[in-house]
Structure 1
Amino acid sequence: MPRRLRLVELDFAATAPVRLAFTAELAAPPGDVYRALAEDVESTPDWFAAVAVATPHEGGAGRTVRLRGGIGFRETIMAAEPGARYAYRIDETNAPGVTAMLEDWVLSPAAGAGTRVTWTMAVDGPAPCRLALRLARPGVRKSFRDAMRCLDRRLTPASRP
């Protein structure tokens, strides 16, 4: 059953008790990466294997996401800066233990026309939840890296082997 989480602001990405942050470099330009993250929400499952369904709602001011395995999120977009940043707060979830959550995608130019993507998952919850998230770091890192490779192949067909 979904439950409401504590509403947090953008600064939570830097102050959360648990912060999982990962970086990848893509050949695709920042504008293309931003469009895939923020505007083409429904195609997210095509490149992020952990995501089963993603749909925008409230005229693009929010999203509803369901992961493979059944965890779901109802989100509010907190920052939408084309080519630079996309962040959303999770307002409701059925994920056990989570009391507050925000995800922040920061895009910056990389070598050539590429993009450096930094994704921060900021979470709060009781001690067992925090421990579980810290232990999940390697799996979350792998999921992120695989997603970024897949997204880059999707956005830069010439880079495909």
Structure 2
Amino acid sequence: MARQLRSVGLDFADTAPVRLVFTGTMGAPPDAVYRALAIETESWPEWFSGLTAATAAPEGRTVRLTGGTRFQETVLAAQPDVLYAYRTDETNAPGVHALLEAWRLAPSGGGTRVRWTVATDGSAPYRTVLRLSRPAMGRTFRASVRALDRRLTRA
């Protein structure tokens, strides 16, 4: 059953009770990475591990994960080559009260430095599970960034 989450702003990326931050470097330039994140929504399942569908929607997108978890998201920031951030407004994931993800991009030696922040709040069991999931989420992030970089630099 889908539930409405608390509406949060960009500042939640810095103030959330649980913040997971992952960084990586890609050979692709920031404009190509931004385009893949913010414009080519439907391509996310081709490179982001665990996503089965990503569909553009008015003001945001709808995302489905392996296992059936769904997210209805609203884009909060779309600054070309710099920042792509979105908030989850509705999900069927248990225990979540608020969720925001921000992708920050910066030029780095001819490529892009990527920082993915997952900022969230929820029930005590949810927060515990998420903190324990940090290593797995880090592996997913690194594998997904490598897959996206291969996709963008092979052209």
TM-score range normalised by the length of the shorter chain: over 0.9
The alignment partner of 2:94 has SS state of coil
- Partner residue, 2:44: 44
Matched, 1:32 2:29: no
For residues 60-112 of structure 1, what are the alpha-carbon distances to aligned partners after superposition, in whole Å with 9 as ceiling and x for unaligned? Answer: x210000011111000000000100000000000111000000000000111x
RMSD, aligned α-carbons:
0.8
Q: So what's the TM-score if we normalise by structure 2?
A: 0.98
Matched, 1:127 2:129: no
The size of the alignment, in residue pairs, is 155
Q: Counterparts of 2:50 and 2:15 in 1: how far apart (Å)?
A: 26
The alignment partner of 2:133 has SS state of helix
Which AA in structure 2 matches 1:154? R
- Partner residue, 2:3: 3
Matched, 1:152 2:142: no
Matches within 5 A, 1:31-110: 31-58=31-58, 61-110=59-108
Q: Counterparts of 1:66 and 1:121 in 2: how far apart (Å)?
A: 17
Q: Runs of 4 or more off by more than 2 Å in structure 1? A: none
Unaligned runs of 5+ in 1: none
Q: If each structure's strand is expressed as a fraction of its own residues, which one has the higher value?
A: 2
Matched, 1:138 2:135: yes
Q: Give how far 1:49 is off.
A: 1.8
Q: Give how far 1:142 is off.
A: 0.4
Unaligned runs of 5+ in 2: none
For residues 123-146 of structure 1, what are the alpha-carbon distances to aligned partners after superposition, in whole Å with 9 as ceiling and x for unaligned? Answer: 100211111000000010000000
Q: Counterparts of 1:69 and 1:139 in 2: how far apart (Å)?
A: 16
Q: Counterparts of 1:79 and 1:5 in 2: how far apart (Å)?
A: 18
